[in-house]
Amino acid sequence: MRFGIFTSMGMQTWSGVLDLWKHLEATGWDVACVTDHFMPNTPEKEGAMLESWSTLSALAALVPRMRVGTIVLGNTYRHPAVVAKMAAQVDIISGGRLLLGLGAGWQQNEHEAYGIPFYTMRERLERLDEACEVITSLWKNKRSTFKGRYYQLDDAPLDPKPVQSPHPELMIGGGGEKVTLKIVAKHADHWNVWGGPQVLSRKGKILDGHCAAVKRDPKSIRRSVNMALHITDKKEDVDALARTIETRMGRHAADARDTCLAGTPDQIRETLRQLKAAGADTLFIPSMFRPLPELRRDLDRFINEIAPAFR
């Protein structure tokens, strides 16, 4: 398995993110990602929010070993041809280490604040489907022409190309069973979802069905989960973390508990065994549910005491 972190860009400083990523690199993590938002998802709209692409570009140059990426870009924020161009450059800067995570976009308040059209859920997903075609075509082909409902290219070049061949790893984030997982089956190298073994197993079977419909080997798609870490021998700590996830993410109680990578080291090892059996080959730990100094202590314990047996 690969083990990664994704760092919320909210309430951060540049120096703090750089220090964390250098520490992750030095202690053996495999991949680190940034989130993609412009402001907090609160009525007050208060608080610092680092811009994802410029931050990632700098990190790609200053953190030389780990894979670097996005969990996940909101497709509504940028034309996909612009994303393809920026992604190619970050792949070059990083020496071929970019993981491009892309999603349909969901945070309504920042669309409204900045005058970015939010569209219906259906249109956001249709745009994501077309965007995947636009991006991969520009990465692979000398010139690209595309006539979609939402995006058009006319003999468009992309030069220089990304370092990775045939192109950077394209990850689609989301768990929508009727549409999002169809888009994953058509386009993605990697599927990312919030949840643990139960969520991954349930939705993974649906993805397998969508892959069969388009005659694609489901094993050709990496599968990763986002789970909140807390190493503890206190059940009340696990319960509190699950309640936080349920409240902040609007998850059902069972799915919130499944999203907790929490308990004793032996309990966490058992969860990782279940994840592996469900098809996960990458685990991401988000930074936003616990104070960073506390989380860093658990990250160090996890990568030193738990992760080696699963690599």
**Residue 46: band (very low, low, confident or very high) from pLDDT cuts 50, 70, 90:** very high
Q: In 10 A of CB 209, how many CB atoms? A: 14
pLDDT single digits (tens) 165-213? 999 999 999 999 999 999 999 999 999 999 999 999 999 999 999 999 9
In this structure, the dihedral spanned by the alpha carbons of residues 106, 168, 281 and 260, taken in order and rounded to 10 degrees, is -30
Q: Which residues have CB under 8 Å from 85's CB, separation 6+?
A: 138, 158
The whole-number pLDDT of residue 251 equals 83
**Residue 252: band (very low, low, confident or very high) from pLDDT cuts 50, 70, 90:** confident
Environment class of 34 (CB within 10 Å of its CB; exposed 0-12, middle 13-18, buried 19+): buried
Q: Which of 59-73, 80-94, 239-253 has the lowest mean pLDDT?
A: 239-253
pLDDT single digits (tens) 272-310? 999 999 999 999 999 999 999 999 999 999 999 999 999
Comparing C-alpha atoms, which of 285, 277, 282, 288 is closest to residue 301? Answer: 285
Q: Read off φ and ψ for residue 154, nearest 5 degrees.
A: -130, 95
Q: Which residue segments constitute the domains of the chain, with CATH numbers given?
A: 2-228+263-310 (3.20.20.30)
The whole-number pLDDT of residue 101 equals 98
**Residue 229: band (very low, low, confident or very high) from pLDDT cuts 50, 70, 90:** very high
The whole-number pLDDT of residue 273 equals 98
pLDDT single digits (tens) 123-170? 999 999 999 999 999 999 999 999 999 999 999 999 999 999 999 999
